[in-house]
Structure 1
Amino acid sequence: MTSAPAHLLPARILPLDAIPADCRGGAVAIGNFDGMHRGHQALLEAARSEGSAHQAPALLLTFEPHPRSVFRPDSPLFRLSTMEAKARLAAAFGLDGIVVARFDREFAETSADDFVDKILVERLGITAAIIGHDFQFGHDRLGSPAFLAHQGARHGFTVSVLGAVIDGNGQSFSSSRVRQSLEQGEIERANSELGYRWFVMGKVQHGDKRGRELGYPTANVRLPADCGLALGIYAVTLTRADGTTHDAVASYGRRPTFDNGAVLLEVHVFDFADSLYDEAVVITFHRFLRGEERFESIDALIAQMDRDSEAARRILANAGPGTSLDQRLALIAPSADVAPALSIR
């Protein structure tokens, strides 16, 4: 499968201490937005709508690293989306940029009053704030939606407080539920929670060419150590920097038949002969095929790879374009600045 070339750029990533003049006075959705699932998307849509109504930029204000990694460094959090992935998603929602506040122990001491006065008013000069009903901010989480609404009236910006977005079973969408689904290899469930097909991003580099020797050359990515994705084989697509998208099969695991080494994502692109070296790509997950296993011989491994490829081809041939958000994402090529790096093996 090859799609039409992308023609949109990811949203700008803006450090909080270097906000350009054209991004001041915006409508700003505030939160961590890990995964940017269906619940988060209500905030993004509201920010875009408020920005349009005020003829102001629509922005997302988020925190990096995730606060949990600062307060609980010994308990790694499976991050669902890198900042580059968030920039791609933000562009799909028509946002103008992502403002990134560096979160550390010093930032955590910022009072709720200072968060409003020094960040929202002085640095961003916001026109509107959009938050979830359970959003809390400032030292000891003393800033509440009611507090922010009061401060908005005082400083002249509007505050929209959105309720929880509920699924068909009466449960709120959450990043925790998406993580759990990915950890169990339940890709379709995770994608349903997200409202789009989960993806990772990276840049292709040279590798040891083992896959090529097996007749399955692959582009590989070493995902972050905290990635909790289930080890196994997946039907995926790979999108190039030129916007074209190609069907593929991927293995995420330790290669137990060979070295049982560090976990890698290895992607074999079907019917593909071009070079991908040094190219930014997006790898999108469609379905989990099977768990990782060790084979007694190379021939047995290749025979299973053949079966995996056939299964992935069938799945992807019937996958369709996905949700409306998937279709908007298809218009956004990966940035040249994505990380971590991919390699060809």
Structure 2
Amino acid sequence: MAIEVIRGWRDLTPAKQGAAVAIGAFDGVHRGHQAVIAAARDAARALDAPLAVVSFDPHPRRWFQPDAAPFRLMTPEQMARALEPLGVDRLYLLPFDADMAAMSDEDFARNVLAAGLGTKHAAVGFDFTFGKGRTGSPESLRRYGVDLGFTVSTVDRLDDLHGLKLSSSAVREALQAGDMNRAAAILGRPFAIEGEVVHGDKRGRTIGIPTANIPLADYMRPAYGIYATRSRLPDGRIIDGVANLGIRPMFETEQPMLEVWLFDFDADLYGQTLETDLIARLRGEMKFDDLDALKAQIDADAVAARAVLVG
């Protein structure tokens, strides 16, 4: 059964309340996040309650830093899909607005978690903060829970056996370095960009290399360059490819784009939503003398991408 996405916490019916919840931004749903969700899952089983995740949309950082550079690791739709295989029944996407930003930690526990969501148990990470001024902590949440009728568990920091820090900031650092293997090791899956295919300048078609062009929107910008990719089409097919991510120096774009050449594929994808895994960064962006040189390099990139994807 598909995960139920509930956008809000006010005026919920009893049928949509009463879960054991994991609380956090959960941007990326990486392996550290998954440990918090596992703690909530254990509580849900013990309490015979639904398992839910409580997150926020927009991300709190976007509210407090509206001019910050793009930083998101996933869309809410990707988050919901990543939570499904973890056994999550519900995703509460709470609007992070002026009311939420102004709430004290006690008001959040009392009004949102207890009265709004009817929380039975809350699982949080060791560094969880909440409430105006980030005054709330796992310890204060536990105290509020005693009064408000829910229990609390705290998950200690979890690091990979090989020393990887399992955090969203560590994912961003790996992406900025173009280290897709490290990013995937932290996430537990490849980093993926999802978006609607838009019209480009169609220059690729003139050299026999049509691309599906996807704006990066609020995704953080991985290292610009050429990537071996796998794209999921709306009909479920998965197509290997090679992509340019960036501003394309030879024909510079105003905004960075993901431009994916899907191998052995020829169909109109305009207006459709694609999700593309960035499997490996092959090289940085380059500027070429002419179209022939560009096409020769793209052909070489395609060979390199196929070799990576087969391996």
Same fold (TM over 0.5): yes
- Amino acid across the alignment from 1:304: Q
Q: TM-score, normalised by structure 1?
A: 0.84
Aligned to 1:23: 16
Alignment partner of 2:144 out of 143, 147, 151: 151
- Amino acid across the alignment from 1:218: T
User: CA contact under 8 A between 2:165 and 2:186: conserved in structure 1?
Assistant: no
SS in structure 2 at match of 1:220 = strand
Query: Quick check: 1:32 aligned with 2:25?
Result: yes
Closer, same or farther: CA 151–50 of 1 in aligned 2, 3 Å: same
Closer, same or farther: CA 21–275 of 1 in aligned 2, 3 Å: farther
How far is the alpha carbon of 1:227 from its aligned partner? Answer: 2.6
Alignment partner of 2:282 out of 289, 294, 304: 289
C-alpha separation between the residues in 1 aligned to 2:66 and 2:269? Answer: 36
Closer, same or farther: CA 274–230 of 1 in aligned 2, 3 Å: same
Alignment partner of 2:74 out of 76, 81, 91: 81
Query: Quick check: 1:235 aligned with 2:214?
Result: no
Aligned to 2:39: 46
In the TM superposition, what are the counterparts of 1:201-280 in structure 2 within 5 Å? 201-224=194-217, 227-280=220-273
Deviations 1:86-123 (A, max 9, x none): 11111121212221222234322211221111101111
User: CA contact under 8 A between 2:17 and 2:118: conserved in structure 1?
Assistant: yes
Q: TM-score, normalised by structure 2?
A: 0.93
* Paired positions, count: 311
- Amino acid across the alignment from 1:16: W
How far is the alpha carbon of 1:229 from its aligned partner? Answer: 1.2
Q: Which moved more, 1:182-191 or 1:74-83?
A: 74-83
Q: Which moved more, 1:207-216 or 1:114-123?
A: 207-216
The structure showing larger relative contact order (alpha-carbon pairs under 8 Å, at least 6 residues apart) is 1
How far is the alpha carbon of 1:298 from its aligned partner? Answer: 0.2
How far is the alpha carbon of 1:45 from its aligned partner? Answer: 2.1
How far is the alpha carbon of 1:235 from its aligned partner? Answer: 0.4
- Amino acid across the alignment from 2:276: I
Q: Which moved more, 1:175-184 or 1:16-25?
A: 16-25
CA RMSD of aligned residues (A): 2.0
In the TM superposition, what are the counterparts of 1:1-345 in structure 2 within 5 Å? 9=2, 12-17=5-10, 19=12, 21-170=14-163, 172-224=165-217, 227-318=220-311
How far is the alpha carbon of 1:10 from its aligned partner? Answer: 5.7
C-alpha separation between the residues in 1 aligned to 2:246 and 2:148? Answer: 52
User: CA contact under 8 A between 1:201 and 1:281: conserved in structure 2?
Assistant: yes
- Amino acid across the alignment from 1:192: A
Give ranges in structure 1 of 5+ residues lacking alignment: 1-7, 319-345
Q: Which moved more, 1:205-214 or 1:309-318?
A: 205-214
C-alpha separation between the residues in 2 aligned to 1:294 and 1:11? Answer: 47
Give ranges in structure 2 of 5+ residues lacking alignment: none
